[in-house]
């Protein structure tokens, strides 16, 4: 027996303003565009998908190069099962041993793509303002957590 409940959408609900639509769709478009570009560049240059790069980078940044799987999944924005499959693939491809070397090689590509297609579009002040805005939505990305003990 299913315990799922249907979500009722009230009729006559106010629609989004033009500014809200532009902001929301712009965020989604920008994220998708940058993620696709970065994934393609990392895959082409290093045979390393962006998700693998992100997981290896989070491990590199952690103390002792180790993290609990649930914490790593949260930081890499993957489901726990998705992370398990990815880690199994990294181990199968022997990237755990070569991970630091592959990560170092890919870091330059990652940085070049992010600088060219994101950072170069904004001033330092705008980047700081963006970071402050993102922290309103997802404060756990800055190491502060979200205050409810459940991560993001």
What mean pLDDT do residues 53-71 have? 88
pLDDT at 149: 41
Q: Are 72 and 65 in contact (CB under 8 A)?
A: no
pLDDT at 90: 83
Which has more pLDDT, 93 or 113? Answer: 113
Q: Are 68 and 78 in contact (CB under 8 A)?
A: no
DSSP 9-73: --TTPPPPPHHHHHHHHHHHHHHHHHHHHHHHHHHHHHS--HHHHHHHHHHHHSGGG---HHHHH
Residue 110 pLDDT level (bands cut at 50, 70, 90):
very high
Q: What percent of the chain has pLDDT over 70?
A: 80
pLDDT at 11: 65
In the predicted structure, residue 145 carries a pLDDT above the cut 60: no
Nearest to 70 by CA among 90, 49, 84: 84
Residue 82 pLDDT level (bands cut at 50, 70, 90):
very high
pLDDT at 100: 76
In the predicted structure, residue 86 carries a pLDDT above the cut 60: yes
CATH second-level architecture of 37-137?
Answer: Orthogonal Bundle (1.10)
Domain ranges of the chain: 37-137
Q: What percent of the chain has pLDDT over 90?
A: 55
What mean pLDDT do residues 60-70 have? 87
What mean pLDDT do residues 1-10 have? 60
pLDDT at 14: 81
Q: State the DSSP code for 120.
A: G
pLDDT at 91: 81
């Amino acid at each position: 027996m299913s315990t799922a409940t249907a979500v009722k959408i009230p009729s006559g609900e106010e629609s989004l303003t033009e500014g809200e639509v532009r902001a929301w769709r712009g965020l989604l478009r920008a994220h998708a565009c940058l993620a696709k570009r970065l994934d393609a560049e990392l895959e082409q240059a290093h045979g390393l998908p962006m998700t693998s790069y992100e997981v290896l980078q989070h491990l590199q940044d952690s103390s002792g190069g180790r993290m609990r799987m649930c914490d790593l999944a949260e930081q890499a924005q993957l489901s726990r099962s998705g992370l398990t499959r990815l880690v199994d693939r990294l181990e199968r491809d022997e990237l755990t041993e070569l991970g630091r070397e592959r990560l170092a090689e890919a870091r330059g590509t990652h940085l070049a793509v992010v600088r060219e297609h994101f950072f170069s579009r904004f001033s330092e002040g705008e980047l700081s303002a963006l970071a402050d805005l993102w922290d309103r939505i997802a404060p756990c990305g800055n190491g502060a957590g979200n205050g409810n003990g459940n991560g993001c």
